[in-house]
């Protein structure tokens, strides 16, 4: 398998003159510490400013001078090192970073984080910062699977710490199993996504502007079964809906994400409900509607499903072809529009022709406040790509956006949704239709 390049696409890097996100890279004591050098270089190539923090045991595997030479900044290794700076270093760093990334993270580091033990600079930084925390564990397979480690991981995840789980592979202890540090380029990709998102929020002043909103977001495709092994679905990856959930949570909203089957990790601090079919998505949306002040239907819901589902696998050696009778699925956006009350309702229109005309028609027919329309026949927009090019269609205007990352598009959609908000909807729960 070809090794994935760590070179970033041009649209993902920081532009000249734009401040890059600030990342604290924590390195703990295991043989995988040498891979943190690749993580550091990958983040720097993307435009991040990285401050390396090493535990005492990490310095036994890689010298601080290696990280200092690459990062261009002194490496922090000692909680009580003498300095001319009058500021308390861990507090100063805790308040200035957009992300704390710990890669690799040992079982000992996870245990200290989970228990709130702060006996060195890194553990004290963890307990002091309000920035997102991303952890990439690496350890012996038995240590990773031990009940104590599983409990610590569960506790940290419940607090909003994000994980890039280790993979299976050949370990330093000459065994094969789980515990191998995730690939550095995968760690860099996820860290960059989180840090850049947090930096953008701070730069634009979006932080906290959605506090008080409860946003219900649907994402991904649906799957309509033909038989136990086959079904009807579409190319939606769920990336746009997941980007919306991450952006909304980062701006202070309470978020419920209703997701079809996708290969994505849900954003932290988001209540995720996994569904499979259009009928399941309809039920989940209707169940969560009363508590929502805004609904964003980003999912690509199947319009049709098989009228009947075979109990057993349909054999291909049957005589002749196969004719499927299809029936309409529930129109979720229309159902939300009928129960709109004072909610802000945002729909999506994936089109291949007459894009704006179809979006205007959908806006009126579904009783929506905003339609996000895009031409999914384009290579840089729509399904299964990292960028999107959309038009924001409201009842008073059309705003056509250039090609942007889906995370940037998410913020623009949320901005537009707040502008078309019908009325203050913070006390909708229990109101009649």
| pLDDT number for residue 363 | 95
Confidence band, pLDDT 50/70/90 cuts, at residue 215? very high
Closest residue by Cα to residue 307 from 292, 288, 333, 329: 329
In angstroms, the CA 91 to CA 285 distance is 42
* Domains in the chain with CATH codes: 21-200 (3.40.50.1950), 209-314+322-419 (3.40.50.10300)
As a whole number, mean pLDDT of residues 120-147 equals 92
Q: Is pLDDT of 40 > 80?
A: yes
Other beta carbons less than 10 A from residue 288's beta carbon: 17
Output b/e per residue, 176-188; b: 16+ Cβ within 10 A.
ebbbbbbbbbbbb
As a whole number, mean pLDDT of residues 406-420 equals 91
Residues that are catalytic: 173
> Residue 161 half-sphere exposure, CB side, CA atoms within 13 Å?
24
Find the angle CA(334)-CA(244)-CA(266) to the nearest 5 degrees: 105
Task: Report the mean per-residue pLDDT for the chain.
Answer: 86
Which range of 80-94, 181-195, 281-295 scores highest in mean pLDDT? It is: 281-295
Q: Is pLDDT of 429 > 50?
A: no
- What percentage of the chain has pLDDT greater than the value 90? 60
Closest residue by Cα to residue 193 from 402, 1, 65, 23: 23
- What percentage of the chain has pLDDT greater than the value 70? 85
pLDDT tens per residue across span 222-240:
999 999 999 999 989 999 9
Query: Can you point out the beta strands (E) in 142-284?
Result: 162-163, 167-170, 176-180, 214-219, 224-227, 230-232, 254-259, 271-274
Lowest mean pLDDT among 164-178, 228-242, 359-373: 164-178
Helix (H, G, I), strand (E, B) or coil at 412: helix
Question: Residue 22 CA to chain centroid, in angstroms?
Answer: 19
Exposed, middle or buried, 312 (CB in 10 Å: 0-12/13-18/19+)? exposed
Closest residue by Cα to residue 214 from 289, 157, 108: 289
| pLDDT number for residue 205 | 58
Q: Is pLDDT of 1 > 90?
A: no
Confidence band, pLDDT 50/70/90 cuts, at residue 348? very high
Q: Is pLDDT of 4 > 80?
A: no
In angstroms, the CA 239 to CA 339 distance is 27
| pLDDT number for residue 252 | 85
Is pTM, for the whole model, over 0.75?
Answer: no
Q: Are 143 and 149 in contact (CB under 8 A)?
A: yes
| pLDDT number for residue 423 | 54
């Amino acid at each position: 398998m070809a090794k994935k390049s760590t070179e970033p696409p041009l649209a993902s890097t920081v532009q000249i003159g734009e401040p890059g996100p600030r990342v604290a890279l924590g390195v703990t004591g295991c043989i995988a510490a040498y891979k943190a050098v690749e993580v550091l270089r990958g983040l720097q190539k993307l435009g991040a400013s990285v401050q390396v923090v090493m535990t005492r045991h990490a310095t036994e595997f890689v010298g601080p001078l290696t990280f200092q030479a690459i990062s261009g900044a002194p490496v922090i290794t000692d909680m009580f090192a003498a300095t001319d700076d009058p500021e308390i270093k861990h507090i100063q760093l805790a308040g200035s970073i957009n992300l704390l990334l710990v890669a690799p993270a040992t079982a000992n580091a996870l245990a200290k984080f989970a228990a709130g033990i702060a006996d060195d600079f890194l553990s004290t930084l963890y307990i002091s910062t309000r920035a997102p925390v991303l952890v990439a564990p690496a350890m012996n397979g038995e240590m990773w699977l031990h009940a104590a480690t599983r409990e610590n991981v569960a506790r940290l995840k419940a607090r909003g710490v994000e994980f890039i789980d280790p993979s299976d592979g050949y370990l330093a202890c000459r065994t094969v199993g789980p515990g191998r540090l995730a690939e550095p380029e995968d760690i860099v990709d996820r860290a960059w996504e989180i840090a850049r998102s947090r930096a953008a929020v701070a730069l634009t002043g979006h932080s906290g502007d959605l506090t008080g909103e409860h946003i219900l977001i649907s994402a991904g495709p649906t799957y309509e079964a033909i038989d136990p092994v086959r079904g009807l679905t579409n190319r939606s990856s769920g990336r746009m809906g997941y980007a919306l959930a991450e952006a909304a949570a980062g701006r202070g909203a309470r978020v419920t994400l209703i997701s079809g089957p996708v290969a994505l990790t849900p954003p932290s601090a988001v209540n995720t409900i996994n569904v499979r079919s259009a009928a399941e998505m309809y039920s989940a949306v209707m169940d969560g509607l009363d508590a929502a002040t805004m609904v964003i239907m980003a999912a690509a819901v199947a319009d049709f499903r098989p009228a009947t589902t075979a109990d057993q696998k349909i054999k291909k050696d049957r005589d002749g072809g196969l004719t499927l009778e299809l029936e309409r699925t529930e129109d979720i956006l229309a159902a939300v529009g009928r129960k709109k009350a004072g909610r802000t309702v945002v729909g999506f229109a994936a089109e291949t022709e007459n894009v704006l005309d179809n979006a205007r028609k959908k806006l009126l027919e579904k009783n929506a406040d905003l339609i996000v329309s895009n031409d999914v026949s384009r290579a840089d927009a729509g399904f299964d790509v990292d960028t999107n090019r959309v038009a924001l269609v409201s009842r008073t205007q059309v705003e056509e956006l250039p090609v942007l990352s889906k995370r940037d598009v998410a913020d623009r959609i949320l901005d537009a949704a707040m502008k078309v908000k019908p009325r203050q909807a913070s006390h909708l729960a229990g109101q009649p239709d």
